[in-house]
Amino acid sequence: MRERSAADCRYLRFGVDATSPDGPIVSLCGHPARDGFSCVGPFLEEMPTTCGLWEEKPRSAPWHASASDQTRGTLPSGRE
Ligand code: SF4
């Protein structure tokens, strides 16, 4: 996992907002202190977030696949 990547934050949610100037898919924060606001990001490779509310996404979450899992095309639990 990349170090403190915004993409790996447990509070990151995605939504659709047709009026957004950045496109219809928006990155939203679900942390109680920022709920409903945009995630501060950034969403760039090799650039960790400076967000003080960041917490790692639980590894048991089915959508949390490591880079090696994605390369092999397998699910995190080892199922193919
Ligand atoms: S704003 Fe911070 S806590 Fe919220 S989703 Fe982004 S990185 Fe996570």
For range 46-59, the mean pLDDT: 94
Q: Is residue 39 part of a domain?
A: yes
pLDDT digits (tens, 9 = 90+) for 12-30: 999 999 999 989 999 999 9
Number of independent structural domains in the chain:
1
Report the alpha-carbon distance of residue 12 to residue 65 in Å, rounded.
Answer: 15
Residue 41 CB neighbours (<10 A): 16
Residue spans of alpha helices (H) in the chain: 67-72
Q: Which residue has 């880079």 as its token pair?
A: 67
Ligand 1 pocket check for 5: Cβ under 6 Å: no
Average pLDDT along the chain = 82
Cα 26 to ligand 1 centre (Å): 13
Give yes or no for residue 39 CB within 6 A of ligand 1: yes
Kindly tell me if the per-residue pLDDT of 49 is higher than 80: yes
Q: Which is the closest atom of ligand 1 to the Cα of 13?
A: 5
In a domain, 20, yes or no: yes
CA-based torsion, 62, 52, 40, 36: positive or negative: positive
Q: Report if residue 53 sits inside a domain.
A: no
Asked if the structure places residue 67 within a domain, the reply is: no
**Counting every residue, how long is the chain?**
80
